[in-house]
Amino acid sequence: MTDFQLIRKLRQESYRKIVLLVLDGLGGLPVDLGGPTELEAARSPNMDRLASEGTLGQTIPIRRGITPGSGPAHLALFGYDPVQFAVGRGVLEASGIGLSVAKGDVASRGNFCTLDTEGRIIDRRAGRIPSDQAIPLVERMSQIQIPGVEVEARHAREYRFAVVMRGEGLEPDIEDTDPQQTGVSPLTARAQTTMAQPTADLFNKWITEAHRCLADQPKANGLTLRGFSTDPGLPQFPDIFGLRAACVAVYPMYRGVSQLVGMQVQDFPGVQPEDEFNMAASIWDEFDFFFIHIKKTDSKGEDGDFAGKTAIIEAVDGALPTLLDLNPDVLCVTSDHSTPARMRMHSWHPVPTLLWAPATALPDDQTTFGDRACAQGGLGTFPATDLMPLLMAHAGRLAKYGA
Amino acid sequence: MTDFQLIRKLRQESYRKIVLLVLDGLGGLPVDLGGPTELEAARSPNMDRLASEGTLGQTIPIRRGITPGSGPAHLALFGYDPVQFAVGRGVLEASGIGLSVAKGDVASRGNFCTLDTEGRIIDRRAGRIPSDQAIPLVERMSQIQIPGVEVEARHAREYRFAVVMRGEGLEPDIEDTDPQQTGVSPLTARAQTTMAQPTADLFNKWITEAHRCLADQPKANGLTLRGFSTDPGLPQFPDIFGLRAACVAVYPMYRGVSQLVGMQVQDFPGVQPEDEFNMAASIWDEFDFFFIHIKKTDSKGEDGDFAGKTAIIEAVDGALPTLLDLNPDVLCVTSDHSTPARMRMHSWHPVPTLLWAPATALPDDQTTFGDRACAQGGLGTFPATDLMPLLMAHAGRLAKYGA
């Protein structure tokens, strides 16, 4: 029996609500030996109170030592083993910007690039052209007609877009056309299997047409495609866990992965933590499970901005009473992965995790929410995929296994 | 290679003896925020000394968040992954009361119930009739003859009994006849597979006859059957671990699961911890491994009796010198699962575990045996199925893997 089968067998109804609050890239590192991490440096009295009353631990997103991308890391938080359930980057990018990818469609991420007169790449990101320059180009490419299939292109941000091809008998096993270096031409789309040859041919036709659309551009006169993939047909989160699940997130990527697992993605004005918590409040009675995603901790980490990341954590903490006023039964404050400002990138370090469930948790000895406090927490260090069953248990939503 | 194959390959002889002392449902929760758990509240100087000299940790019985029944939880303690090795409830009940279930036999749990004049259930437990009223009824039912098979019924306790059918070509895939509600009639035994149809027909014949035996009863005038199952043919504990293994337990369920894995179940007078430890003493030279089971910590937890559970822990601690006088080489004090008095039921919380092995253990910094001390213990938090290899190692019973 797989773990999902076990959960489906044991799950039961409850009135208890679960909030999964994800501060993206929360885990950090000290800048100086002996110094605090970003989370430890933040003044976060609300989270510290939750830590005192709740239980801390550390999650391992994928496997020890593996640095996760955002897609796999979120799948793990939602209970899906991200090695078993691989979602292609093309699908993630497309879903994240609202471009639907059905089973059998093939999606790809696209980059505009700058080519020299010989057709060799001289800038893989087309000088990072701004969105207002890129959008009309993507619109032009959307007019391209390829006989036998429908191809939709949509702008993502700056020099990035997504393409989805729809038709009969398409196969996603195609190599990236991005050579990952300058001084050479974009590659043709090469099939990895005989079955995928017709699909690769169709994409090459589309690429040729697209280059015609871009021929007059000073910077974005070329393109590359990456991450050809199709909807993996993930088991649906509401079916597995028996939860009416809402996604409250600002950024497309996180909305996309939530949609792929069947959460109901909410639209709302504003981009601040307070706005997100207010959104959750407005639908509180309609859902059992609320995934709330805060992006900027990760962005500041990637910028190498230790103080900025700390400030975002403090801002979330300041807004937290709006969420706590809803009286969630189970509140988990955690992250998808670590993004230490010192490293300016995602990392493999264990992820600080706070589980607060006043009716059912065993409080541990920890009194602050920090990376090192979590390493000493009562939950121990455990796979992120075990988080959902733990939250379900603390919400009284899992029956006993066996007599 | 499965883990059992690894153990079989590495196991070696040793004079060292292992005691696995299980205080059922030991793990607990504070009643008030900041208060102690049952184990933390107990004055247990002997266990505290063992904790000082030994190593603490937490075990996860099944998976994180999964609340175990007693059968699966004990299988895990004995080293069997309880999701892989599922034992049906009928088999557990029957084995527990000494009713043998061979491979190919089909066992079921039975409840007496009270039916109204229309045959609808008005009490699913027949007013919880006492054993002395139920025993003669089970004896009557034992006389029933069904052509082609042998059917044995045996009383368990109060309104509960077990039935085992023996014959050729029997299949256990049959739905419960207990509708799990009042106001409706008991269901007929329905086959889940075509193969099981003849077996379901035979059980329905037996049920009809049994209802005739009960027709004159004021309370127990009906019955329901649940958990149809057969001997899963578990790999045998003594073969896997190379241990002469004794079970010292009072309650049928724990004797049953021990018997299913091939331990030698001991009969002895008395029901107190001291009686159990004396039983172990009397067979000390004949066995390498002693599973000793204390039930009442769980019973008190299920009664919501915090002080009562604490008192049982103190009673076990008081009797412990009898066990310690035997000079076990490896002593593990742990549990199958948590049963917090506050919850009045089994729970998913990690299980406090104490490993004392003066010759081979690495003592940690903990000085008391408590839930939170175990969360900080040197063994960390680990699957209960890893406990047996740990005990084997500390007893010098596992050779090096590879050169």
pLDDT for residue A371: 98
- Whether A380 and B381 lie within 8 Å, measured CB to CB: yes
Whether the per-residue pLDDT at A225 is higher than 90: the answer is yes
CA distance B364 to chain A (A): 14
Orientation of helix B273-282 relative to helix B306-324, angle to 10°: 20
The predicted pLDDT at position B95 comes to: 86
The per-residue pLDDT of chain B, averaged, comes to 95
pLDDT average, residue stretch A316-338 = 98
CA distance A389 to chain B (A): 5
A3-85+234-394 carries CATH number 3.40.190.10:
no
Inter-chain CB pairs, A–B, below 8 Å: 96
The CATH T-level fold of domain B91-229 is Alpha-Beta Plaits (3.30.70)
* Confidence at residue A364, expressed as pLDDT on a 0 to 100 scale: 95
Q: Where in chain B is the domain with CATH 3.40.720.10?
A: 3-85+235-394
Q: What is the ipTM of this complex?
A: 0.87
Interval A174-192: pLDDT, tens = 999 999 999 999 999 999 9
CATH code 3.40.720.10 region(s) in chain A: 3-85+234-394
Q: Averaged over B260-273, what is the pLDDT?
A: 95
From the list A389, A392, A400, the residue facing B68 with the nearest CB is: A400
Length of chain B: 403
| Interface touch B343/A360, C-beta < 8 Å | yes
Confidence label for A253 from pLDDT (cuts 50, 70 and 90) = confident
pLDDT above 70: residue A265 = yes
Residue B33 confidence (pLDDT): 85
Q: Does B62 touch chain A (CB under 8 A)?
A: yes
Which CATH number among 3.30.390.10, 3.40.720.10, 3.30.200.20, 3.40.50.720 corresponds to the domain B3-85+235-394?
Answer: 3.40.720.10
pLDDT band at B98 (very low <50, low <70, confident <90, very high): confident
Mean pLDDT of B177-200: 95
Paired residues of A174 in beta bridges: A191
User: CA geometry: angle at A122 spanning A120 and A127, to 5°?
Assistant: 140
pLDDT of residue A86 exceeding 90: no
**Which of A 294-323 lie inside 8 A of B, CB atoms?**
none
Of A364, A377, A389, the CB nearest to B64: A389
Which of B64, B91, B111 to probe by mutation at the A interface, max A CB count within 10 Å? B64
Report the gap between the CA of A267 and the closest CA in chain B (Å). 32
Helix H, strand E, coil C: the string for A74-140 is: HHHHCCCCCCCCCCCHHHHHHHHCCCCCCCCCEEEEEEEEEECCCCCEEECCHHHCCHHHHHHHHHH
The answer, for B70 touching chain A at a CB cutoff of 8 Å, is yes
> For A127-168, what is each residue's pLDDT tens digit?
999 999 999 999 999 999 999 999 999 999 889 999 999 999
- Give ranges for CATH 3.30.70 in chain A: 91-229
Whether residue A1 has pLDDT greater than 80: no
Record: contact A400-B346, CB cut-off 8 A: yes
Going by pLDDT thresholds of 50, 70 and 90, the confidence category of residue B1 is low
Q: Kindly state the average pLDDT of the residues B114-138.
A: 95
> What single string gives the DSSP state of each residue in B372-403?
HHHHTSTT-EEEGGGHHHHHHHHTT-B--S--
User: For chain B, what is the largest distance between any 2 Cα atoms, rounded to a whole number of angstroms?
Assistant: 74
Query: What residues of chain A lie within 8 A of the CB of B380, using their CB?
Result: 380-381
Average pLDDT (A99-117) is 94
Give the up-direction half-sphere exposure of residue B355: CA atoms within 13 A in the CB hemisphere: 27
Comparing CB atoms, the residue among A389, A392, A402 nearest residue B72 is: A402
Interatomic CA distance for residues A50 and A46, integer angstroms: 6
Residue B253 pLDDT > 90 = no
